Chains A and B, each alone.
Chain A
Amino acid sequence: MTPRTRRGWAGALTAVTLTLTACSPAQGGGAARGISSYSVGVTTYFLSHLLPGKAVGSNVDTALFTPLTRVDPVSGEAVNAVAAAIDTTDNITWTIGLRPGWTFHNGEPVTAQSFADSWNATAYGPNAYTNNFMFAPFKGYEELNPAKGKPTGKTLSGVEVVDAKTLRVTLTRPLALLPHMLAQSAFAPVPKAALTDAGAFDRRPIGNGPYQVDGPGMVTGATKLTLKRYENYPEEKGQAERIELKSYQDEGAAYRDLSAGAIDVTLITGNNLPAAAAQFKGRLVEVPFPALLYLGFPTWDKRFSDVRVRQAFSHAIDRETIVKTLLRGFGSPAKGLAGVAVPGGGEPDCAACSYDPAKARALLAEAGGWSGPLKLWTFQDGLNNVLLEAVGNQLRTNLGVQGISIQTQPVDQLYPNLKARKIDGPVLLYMGAGYPHLYALADQLFTKTSAANVTGYDSKDFAALLGKAAKAPEEEVLARTREATGKALADLPLTPLFQPTGALAHSERVSGVRPEFLGGVRLAAVKVL
């Protein structure tokens, strides 16, 4: 195997060209006021933590921090950002070179040590940073997070600072998609200040992204965060000079504020979509989410141990009609595991996803029919309930299952109960890809040890196929991953239902509204007219 090198220039150039075409020269009201500024509605959750170790990966994090790589939304490839090159021969040991010219908002240069500091702090168990789990593939993670007792060290042995501009990363097992993984905000660098007072940094971070925090940050009781453009950003700078991020507890309130002209952009989902689509005709950018709504089967329950029962359930659900009616067309009926929004997704690889009531009845009859009541589970969410009720109605109509009831629990009860195998029926769940690749979704949903594998699926064949994908050279990763997902979908521990869609609606004051990977507006790209 010859050494492969990732050179991101081509990708970066594409991104620049896109930005330029999206922002044709225009002078508007913003310029007249002397400073171009706009406001965005974001959910409170996006502003809850801004330290990379606790960051939720929102568009706010992306504006404040730039990690080693970013994922090109068009090609789905990981392109280099702070990294100049990422090299490996075996997908285990990686050498990462950094580009010069990157600085934090306080002027401190971004070095290999900045990354090592950030990663070590997050990987160190007693710090209790929520993104800690993402570092599990790194060598030395076990020592920092022992099952019992105190950690034996404070740094990951798999992260070595070779020199100021070079990092060497060692993993415990091959992972072809490390560059995709490194694009997450959890892997962003931090300056020295984050190490002395992480609490203060969490509220008023000093990042290396296109925007810096202006003012006191997210002090207790604050309802907005003001950002100003970082003029020394070495890549394409932010378009607007200032951005006001207003925090909303209820997405509906943000939508109504947008209608009233109090904010310029916000993400709209769920039941507000049809009304917003009618109201913001030319100013609505649809955002297919890199996520999946699925019905998981409790494979430990003997009523669901026969694959024909699971296929029957899957064939009895009319996904097209549900999308057309309940979702008002905002979403796609699942034809495969992942939609087009997930790089590598969009394949119609789910044979059991077609609507075929006759076949469903026949399969159920072959498997011995159904007797007794059926409980359908989900977590508390208005739309989830409505969707699950429709699924229940179709199971009753098409399979003759009587006594269907819907059970909801908060997430913090439902997940532990699923892990403890106390859930006695199919469960409607939402799962987003951890990082932008089909591999991530497959790994999360089907790998036996994954925290998000709630169906109890445990297949040696699947594990072997996915392992091959992780070891594969770059150009083969996707094909291998598809073989693995094909196996999982044939076993059908869960059936894909829908790929949900949201929309970014905006005022007439702004242009260049584009989504980030997770759906929020790309803050740096919005231009004030």
Chain B
Amino acid sequence: MASSTLVSASAEIPPTPLPGGGAWSRLRRRPGFLIAAFVAALMSAMAAVPQAFAGWFGAGDPRACDLVRSAQPPTAGHPFGFDVQGCDLYSTVVYGTRSSVVVAVLATAGMLVIAVVLGSLAGYHRGWADAVIGRVMDVFFGFPALVGMIVILQTLSVRNEVTVAAVLVLFGWPPLARVMRGSVLAVAGSEYVAAARGVGARTGRVLLRHVLPNSFGPVAVLTGLNIGLVISSESALTFLGVGLRTPAISWGVQLNTAQQYFTTAPHLLIFPSLFLSVTVLGFVLLGDALRDAFDPRTR
């Protein structure tokens, strides 16, 4: 289930019609893309079937805990050691992939949709559309996002992947939209767009064929980073007491617990952070590769 979400989201990153075989073969030749694709596939698989990965070192049940082993460092059969509750850290980190990836993908996909639609409208049409969208953006962006998220999540009182992702979208879309608008603004002023308009192309066609593909680069790159930011924000929300919480297993929950013990048991922090960093790296590379592949200027 989660894997399909991930695949559909990575397919959503370029909102342009997929180009033909040319782009694909260029993509396949890029090492960055191969690494990124591998990481994304691995994380999707872990999110979908954690039980297939959790048992690799013998202990596969993240709920089989023995307090006596609380926060003990890695030993044979437990390559990551134990968390504060004495559970096998490797399997809890593997099981944590699902919540974190689902939140990250849901939130980023949501932000992208809003950002691309509103950003292009504002940047291409200018005028009142730009003014209204700009003002709405200002309110959402100017108000401290964390404060807003705390207030809303406290009011909702239901905290699951969907509500956390929704709140992250609500306060997370403006930077992407703003960048989208900026780059649409620049592209819309260029000669080839003027030329396309000159030969009488309809607005929708100009937007889809000429403006979007050429202005999507900066947003695609930010999207990769955004996935990392979203996972970090999820842990910040937990830190503030309004994020996901036990029995949910997520990297955010793990990192938040680990920070209370990081001077005495640093491994609690290192391993979830490592997984998080690798995932972020994968998505960053994916964003770069897609930008390079679909940007007509670098073809």
Complex contact flag A–B (Cβ < 8 Å): yes
Residues of A within 8 A of B (CB): 270-271, 274-275, 318, 321-322, 325-326, 328, 380, 382-383, 385-386, 389-390, 392-394, 396, 404-406, 408-410
Query: Is B257 a contact partner of A386 (Cβ separation < 8 A)?
Result: yes
> Given A389-B246, A410-B154 in contact, is the A382-B260 Cβ separation under 8 Å?
yes
Question: Does the CB pair B68–A406 fall under 8 Å?
Answer: no
Contact call B154/A390, Cβ cutoff below 8 A: no
Q: A275 contacts which chain B residues (CB < 8 A)?
A: 263-264
Contacts of A390 in B (CB 8 A): 67, 85
Task: Given A390-B67, A393-B67, A410-B154, answer yes or no on A326-B84 (Cβ-Cβ < 8 Å).
Answer: yes
Contact A385 B70 (CB under 8 A): no
Inter-chain contact A271/B86, CB cutoff 8 Å: no
B296 within 8 Å of A (CB atoms): no
The proximity string for B residues 84-122 relative to A, scoring 1 for CB distances below 8 Å and 0 otherwise, is 111000000000000000000000000000000000000
B residues less than 8 Å from A383 (CB atoms): 260
Are A385 and B246 interface neighbours, CB within 8 A? yes
In the assembly, what is the distance between CA of A392 and CA of B67, in Å? 12
12 cross-chain CB contacts under 8 A: A275-B264, A325-B67, A325-B84, A326-B84, A383-B260, A385-B257, A386-B85, A392-B246, A392-B247, A393-B65, A393-B85, A394-B67
Tell me whether B86 and A274 are in contact (CB under 8 A).
no
Report if B261 contacts A (CB, 8 A): yes
Q: How far is the CB of A329 from chain B (nearest CB, A)?
A: 12
Contacts of B260 in A (CB 8 A): 270-271, 382-383, 386
Q: Name which residue of chain B comes closest to A409, CB basis.
A: B157
CB-based contact B86/A325 at 8 Å:
yes
Nearest B-chain residue to A380, judged by Cβ: B241
Query: Taking the complex as formed, is B245 at the interface, i.e. its CB lies under 8 A from any CB of chain A?
Result: yes
Please indicate the chain A residues that have their CB under 8 angstroms from the CB of B154 in the complex.
Answer: 410
Task: Enumerate chain A residues within 8 angstroms of B67, measured Cβ to Cβ.
Answer: 318, 321-322, 325-326, 390, 393-394
In the bound assembly, the distance between CA atoms of A321 and B264 in angstroms comes to 18
Q: Can you name the residue of chain A whose Cβ is closest to the Cβ of B239?
A: A382
Interchain CA distance A382-B243 in the complex, whole Å: 13
Residues of B close to A410: CB separation below 8 A: 154, 241
Query: How many Å lie between the Cα of A394 and that of B263 in the bound state?
Result: 27
Nearest residue in B to A318 (C-beta to C-beta)? Answer: B67
Query: Smallest distance from the beta carbon of A497 to chain B beta carbons, Å?
Result: 14
* CB of B246 to closest CB in A, whole Å: 5
Q: How long is the Cα–Cα vector from A26 to B68 in the complex, in angstroms?
A: 46
In the complex, are the beta carbons of A321 and B68 less than 8 A apart?
A: yes
Q: Which of the listed residues A270, A274, A328, A386 has the most CB atoms from chain B within 10 Å of its own CB?
A: A386
When A and B form their complex, which 8 residue pairs have the shortest distance between CB atoms, in order from nearest?
A325-B70, A380-B241, A271-B260, A275-B263, A406-B246, A321-B67, A325-B67, A382-B260
Question: Nearest Cβ distance between residue B107 and chain A, in whole angstroms?
Answer: 22
A383 to B56, CA, bound (A): 31
Q: How far is the CA of A380 from the CA of B86 in the complex (A)?
A: 22
Q: Distance in Å from the Cβ of B95 to the closest Cβ of chain A?
A: 15
Q: Which residues on the B side are within 8 Å of A382 (C-beta)?
A: 256-257, 260
CA separation between A409 and B157, bound complex, in Å? 8
Cα–Cα, bound, A150→B257 (Å): 50
Q: With the chains together, A390 CA to B165 CA distance in Å? A: 28
B114 CB, min distance to chain A CBs, angstroms? 30
When each residue 141-167 of chain B gets 1 if its CB lies under 8 Å from chain A and 0 otherwise, what string results? Answer: 000000000000010010000000000
Q: Is the CB of B245 within 8 A of A406?
A: yes
CB-CB < 8 A to A270: which residues of B? 260
| Residues of chain B contacted by A385 (CB below 8 angstroms) | 245-246, 257
A385 CA to B260 CA, complexed, in Å: 12
> Given contacts A393-B65, A406-B246, A409-B157, could you give 11 more A-B pairs where the C-beta distance is less than 8 Å?
A318-B67, A322-B67, A325-B86, A326-B70, A382-B257, A385-B245, A385-B246, A386-B84, A386-B257, A389-B246, A408-B241
Q: How distant is A244 from chain B, measured CB to nearest CB, in Å? A: 27
Chain A residues with CB under 8 A of B261: 271
A-chain residues with CB within 8 Å of residue B70 when the two chains form the complex: 325-326
- Contacts A321-B68, A325-B86, A393-B67; A408 near B263 (Cβ below 8 A): no
Min distance, Cβ A209 to any Cβ of chain B, angstroms: 36
Complex Cα–Cα for A275 and B259 (A): 13
Give A380 to B186 CA distance when docked, in angstroms. 48
Q: Do residues B85 and A405 form an inter-chain contact, with CB atoms below 8 A?
A: no
Docked complex Cα distance between A459 and B54 (Å): 51
- B277 smallest CB distance to A (angstroms): 24
Are B86 and A406 in touch, CB under 8 angstroms?
no
Report the nearest B residue to A381, measured CB to CB.
B241
Q: In the complex, what distance in Å separates the CA atom of A383 from the CA atom of B68?
A: 18
- Chain A residues near B85 (CB, 8 Å)? 386, 389-390, 393
Q: Are A406 and B241 in contact (CB under 8 A)?
A: no
Least CB distance from A322 to B in Å reads 7
Shortest beta-carbon distance, B265 to chain A, in Å?
Answer: 9
| Assembly CA distance A318 to B65 (angstroms) | 14
Digitize B248-267: 1 where CB-to-A-CB distance is under 8 Å, 0 elsewhere: 00000000110011011000
Q: What's the least CB distance linking A458 to chain B, in Å?
A: 29
B246: A residues at CB distance < 8 A: 385, 389, 392, 405-406
> In the complex, what's the smallest C-beta–C-beta distance from A418 to chain B, in angstroms?
15
Interface bits B211-247 vs A (CB < 8 Å: 1, else 0): 0000000000000000000000000000001000111
Q: Quick check: B247 and A405 within 8 Å, CB to CB?
A: yes
- Chain B positions within 8 Å of A271 at CB level: 260-261
Q: Which residues of B, 41-95, contact A by the 8 Å Cβ criterion?
A: 63, 65, 67-68, 70-71, 84-86
Give min CB distance, A207 to chain B, whole Å: 36
Q: Which residues in B have their C-beta under 8 angstroms from that of A405? A: 246-247
Min C-beta distance of B242 to chain A, whole Å: 8
Closest-by-CB residue of B relative to A252 is: B260
Q: Least Cβ distance of A5 to chain B in Å?
A: 51
Q: Which of B63, B65, B246, B264 gathers the greatest number of chain A CB atoms within 10 Å?
A: B246
Question: In the complex where A325-B67, A389-B85 touch, is A408 in contact with B264 (Cβ < 8 A)?
Answer: no
Taken together as a complex, chains A and B put the C-alpha atoms of A389 and B67 apart, in Å, by 11
| B63 partner residues in chain A, CB cutoff 8 A | 393, 396
Whether B84 and A406, one on each chain, are in contact in the complex, defined by CB atoms closer than 8 angstroms, is no
- How far is the CB of A278 from the nearest CB of chain B, in Å? 8
Beta-carbon nearest neighbor of B261 in chain A: A271
Residue of A nearest to B240 (CB): A380
Q: How far is the CB of B193 from chain A (nearest CB, A)?
A: 52
Give the residue name and chain of the A residue nearest to B253 (CB).
Answer: A385
Query: Among the interface residues B63, B68, B70, which one has the most CB atoms of the partner chain A within 10 A?
Result: B70
Distance in angstroms between the alpha carbons of A380 and B70 in the assembled complex: 22
For the complex, give the distance between the alpha carbons of A275 and B71 in Å.
14
Chain B residues closer than 8 Å to A328, beta-carbon distance: 264
Cα-based distance from A383 to B84 in the complex (angstroms):
11
Determine the chain A residues whose CB is within 8 A of the CB of B157 once the complex forms.
409
In the assembled complex, the Cα of A321 lies from the Cα of B70 at a distance in Å of 10
Q: How far is the CA of A404 from the CA of B85 in the complex (A)?
A: 15
